[in-house]
Amino acid sequence: MPASIDINGDAGESYGRWTLGDDAAFLPHVSSVNIACGFHGGDPATMRQTVRIAKAAGIAIGAHPSFPDLMGFGRRMMTIAPDEMVDYTLYQLGALTAIARSEGMTIAHVKPHGAFYKACSIDMALSKALGAAIAAYDPQMFLVLLAGPGADAAEAAGARVAREAFIDLDYDDGGLIIERVAKLRDPKTVAERAIRVVREGKLAKIDGRDMDVSVSTLCLHGDRANSAEVARVVKETLAASGIAVRPLGT
């Protein structure tokens, strides 16, 4: 059983006068944060605020690039050429890097958001191009992807890949089920899923059948009404089981 695991959380997704989630309450219970970079959520002020919350909490920060889909919150699939998506990713990464550097922070990882993330699990050309781009930008930077063929393709292209499982979303035979609207999740159930992934390398699909997972990071979402409570219970349950929650690579 691993002595530690990373918990990454999606956050910084508010923009303008629209607020989503309670990042100040949520982020102290994770070890890494994926910060929206403006294409599905987030804006310059929110990005800076989220970096500051992460710095105060002592957690790692990463970029959370998306398809250009602010209205659909990045959860609608788009057909985009690999080189075009690489440019979109580097554009968003560059914006967050500038803000992070001004706050004395560095970017530890990149994790695609929503439909872009899903696309990387099924489109090998997209995952290969993204892996090569991140490796060229910074070979030490982690690229967080769903465990499976997409992650393998990105790694083969040179990226330092961190494979991930979702403990607050569902899976079916087609893979990860992306929610259009985040719903409440039972904290105890999510925590039990986390323990099972870490201890047994197993995760149940919606039909009750198990799937094998071998990962170095678990994802939680900050846009649920009870996200902070879910994250707190997951972290406490892992700690009670002797599993430390630490950023990738530490």
As for how many domains the chain has, the answer is 1
Residues 48-59 pLDDT 10s: 999 999 999 999
Q: For position 123, what pLDDT does the model report?
A: 97
108 band by pLDDT with thresholds 50, 70 and 90 = very high
CATH number for the domain that contains residue 90: 3.20.20.370
- Does any domain span residue 221? yes
DSSP category for residue 80: -
Q: For position 230, what pLDDT does the model report?
A: 97
8 band by pLDDT with thresholds 50, 70 and 90 = very high
- Does any domain span residue 250? no
Amino acid in the structure at residue 194: A
Tell me the average pLDDT of the chain. Answer: 96
Residue 173 CB: number of other CB atoms within 10 A?
9
- Does any domain span residue 227? yes
Instruction: Report residue 141 as tokens.
Output: 């930077």
**Who contacts 13 (Cβ-Cβ below 8 Å, separation ≥6)?**
20, 21, 36, 40, 41, 42, 46, 73, 222, 223
pTM above 0.85, yes or no: yes
Q: For position 3, what pLDDT does the model report?
A: 86
CA distance 70 to 127: 22
2 band by pLDDT with thresholds 50, 70 and 90 = low
* Structural domain harbouring 160: 4-245
The three-state secondary structure class of 198 is: helix
Q: For position 1, what pLDDT does the model report?
A: 54
Q: Kindly tell me if the per-residue pLDDT of 186 is higher than 80.
A: yes
